[in-house]
Structure 1
Amino acid sequence: MKSFHKVRPELREWILATARAGHGVPEVLRLLKEAGYDAAQSRRAVSEVLDIPLTSLNAVAPRPSGRRPKHPEAPQVLVDDQPIRVTISVEAPALRVLDGLLSTEECEALIDAARPRLNRAMTVDNQGKQQVDAARTSRGMFFSLGETPLIATLEARLAKLLDMPVEFGEGLQVLHYLPGQEYEAHHDWFDPSQPGYSTITAKGGQRVASVVMYLNTPEEGGGTGFPAVGLTVTAQRGSAVYFAYETGEQASLHAGLPVTRGEKWIATKWLRERPFRP
């Protein structure tokens, strides 16, 4: 696979000449791919040469070829005879608020299992490694797939609800927020323009959906905000917010809003386009 850090003069001239000949951006990117260039770096080169915002080029990138989840539909979905109510439904992004996804007992058991293993919550860096990020101030931990009977039960429930095999999910993460702690606005998909994109996605492809499950009800604050939609999902024990996304889209921007009183416990499941290999 060819790559470049600075746009060479001959490549710059080729991009300009191809664009002037009437070829659109998708065609230019396709030709670069056929010539052996890395897709993410090709978008960066085209962005620089044609003076096009990189976010716009990410939006025209090919959609993932892997599996996609099935969005739960209102008013409710039955999973093993358990009714899960869809109380809010948004189409762009595909977003559903799910009531009754977990029982009170399951929420409490997850908290009890996670509490002794909490550490400063991390984010994923450009090489796919965990890093401390000032934007994320909570504490958290990960369960491996099927680690306990409870984890296996919840993973199977989500797999049936979203028509996505268990192995397409990352390990369940539990997070604990105290007053003032938050996770600033971010996207869950991996940015193809970043140098470590191929490393991160080698483990199972791009992320395609997220499920944020609320394990308790904070006394005040702690919801999940979607600024592009103008929606704040209230944290209520046993409920969850599911949302899906495409690479480069902006509508799924979201934030774990600050807890202003009490504490917040959540469990997050990220889904990939292909089976995930830790």
Structure 2
Amino acid sequence: MSTTTQKVTPQLRQWIVEQAQAGHGADAVLKAMLAAGWQEDVAVEAMEATLRGHLDQQAVRQGLPPALDVPDPDLDESPLYIDAGDRRVHVLQAMAMPRIVVFGSLLSDVECEELIALARPRLARSLTVQTQTGGEEVNQDRTSNGMFFQRGENELVRRIEARIARLVNWPVDHGEGLQILQYGPGAEYKPHYDYFDPDQPGTPTILKRGGQRVGTLVMYLGEPEKGGGTVFPDVHLEVAPKRGNAVFFSYERPHPSTKTLHGGTPVGAGEKWIATKWLRERPFV
């Protein structure tokens, strides 16, 4: 059969779900479909779409929010590097659940220094989103200084934003402005989630600007002498704040089941600088 004549029917989707419920692995299901005459690309796409939809339906029935599309680096062939357009970025570590990827050499030393130099005169006490009202507030859990660049504010920011978009397969206009943060000795950001809690009264106001946050990229600009790592308590992971490296994570639904609880540990000595890019489900305006 040709690809154009192979239609994925409701009966096929039901059969795929039944095979999964019976405990048959993906390889066995795919082998059976190929033996029945299905082309491999059609069979793989049908399996992935059907099972993703089935799992999402189950989650919704359990009271969880529906899943959203998320940014996702192309790691299908376990690459050592990803072509990010103007720079080859290292893949140092990858985790599937939650989706966490540690990148090496995302930024050059010169880019890190330039971002810090441009940001330093504009630093102020960091604020957090106030989901009760949709505004911002000082939060004792976040003891850093920071500032935002407007998206595309200058050539350096535009270059980095284009690199990020290619790296994680997400449009530039779906990103918030690049935030630069500085942490001195003792400063930290206690564990939190980056998505907006749908049960909070201010969340509908926040979502008007671009929908939910669906991914985060934390880039390390300056290395503290001690401490300052990014921790994910649910999976017992800590990422060291090495200059030029970054950690990416995505969250397909605004719920703790994504296991994306994370925080910045206190700086023990020295100074920590990071650049954070939050990614939205729709264009951020």
The TM-score bracket by the shorter chain reads 0.7 to 0.9
Deviation at 1:102, TM superposition (A): 0.1
Is 126-135 or 236-245 further displaced after alignment? 126-135
**Structure 2 counterpart of 1:107:** 112
The alignment status of 1:269 with 2:274, answered yes or no, reads no
- What is the rounded CA distance, in whole Å, between the counterparts of 2:213 and 2:74 in structure 1? 18
**Structure 1 counterpart of 2:145:** 139
Deviation at 1:128, TM superposition (A): 2.4
Question: 1:207 is matched by which residue type in structure 2?
Answer: R
Question: 1:122 is matched by which residue type in structure 2?
Answer: L
Q: Is the 8 A contact 1:72 1:86 kept in 2?
A: no
The alignment status of 1:214 with 2:220, answered yes or no, reads yes
After superposition, the C-alpha distances for 1:217-253 in whole angstroms (9 at most, x for unaligned) are 1111101000111110000000000000122134100
**Structure 2 counterpart of 1:13:** none
Structure 2 unmatched ranges of 5 or more: 1-56
- What is the rounded CA distance, in whole Å, between the counterparts of 2:238 and 2:177 in structure 1? 26
SS of the residue 2:160 aligns to: helix
**Structure 1 counterpart of 2:29:** none
After superposition, the C-alpha distances for 1:11-54 in whole angstroms (9 at most, x for unaligned) are xxxxxxxxxxxxxxx89x89xxxxxxxxxxxxxxxxxxxxxxxx
Question: 1:165 is matched by which residue type in structure 2?
Answer: P
Deviation at 1:76, TM superposition (A): 1.4
Q: Is the 8 A contact 2:190 2:263 kept in 1?
A: yes
**Structure 2 counterpart of 1:71:** 73
Q: Is the 8 A contact 1:71 1:94 kept in 2?
A: no
Which among 118, 123, 126 is matched to residue 121 of structure 1?
126
- What is the rounded CA distance, in whole Å, between the counterparts of 1:69 and 1:94 in structure 2? 10
SS of the residue 2:165 aligns to: helix
The alignment status of 1:159 with 2:165, answered yes or no, reads yes
SS of the residue 1:85 aligns to: strand
Q: Is the 8 A contact 2:109 2:243 kept in 1?
A: yes
SS of the residue 2:102 aligns to: strand
Question: 1:61 is matched by which residue type in structure 2?
Answer: P
- What is the rounded CA distance, in whole Å, between the counterparts of 2:85 and 2:197 in structure 1? 36
SS of the residue 2:235 aligns to: coil
- What is the rounded CA distance, in whole Å, between the counterparts of 2:205 and 2:196 in structure 1? 11
**Structure 2 counterpart of 1:42:** none
SS of the residue 2:116 aligns to: helix
- What is the rounded CA distance, in whole Å, between the counterparts of 2:86 and 2:122 in structure 1? 33
SS of the residue 1:114 aligns to: helix
Question: 1:71 is matched by which residue type in structure 2?
Answer: P
**Structure 1 counterpart of 2:238:** 232
SS of the residue 1:238 aligns to: coil
Structure 1 unmatched ranges of 5 or more: 1-25, 31-55
After superposition, the C-alpha distances for 1:30-88 in whole angstroms (9 at most, x for unaligned) are 9xxxxxxxxxxxxxxxxxxxxxxxxx73xx21123xx5212242321012252211111
Q: 1:119 to 1:209 in 2, by over 3 A?
A: same
Identical positions, percent? 50
**Structure 2 counterpart of 1:88:** 93
TM (normalized to structure 2)? 0.75
SS of the residue 1:107 aligns to: helix
Q: Is the 8 A contact 2:221 2:273 kept in 1?
A: yes
Q: Report the number of matched residues.
A: 222
TM (normalized to structure 1)? 0.77
- What is the rounded CA distance, in whole Å, between the counterparts of 1:89 and 1:250 in structure 2? 16
Which among 266, 274, 280 is matched to residue 258 of structure 1?
266
**Structure 2 counterpart of 1:205:** 211
Question: 1:272 is matched by which residue type in structure 2?
Answer: R
After superposition, the C-alpha distances for 1:245-276 in whole angstroms (9 at most, x for unaligned) are 12213410001111001000000000000000
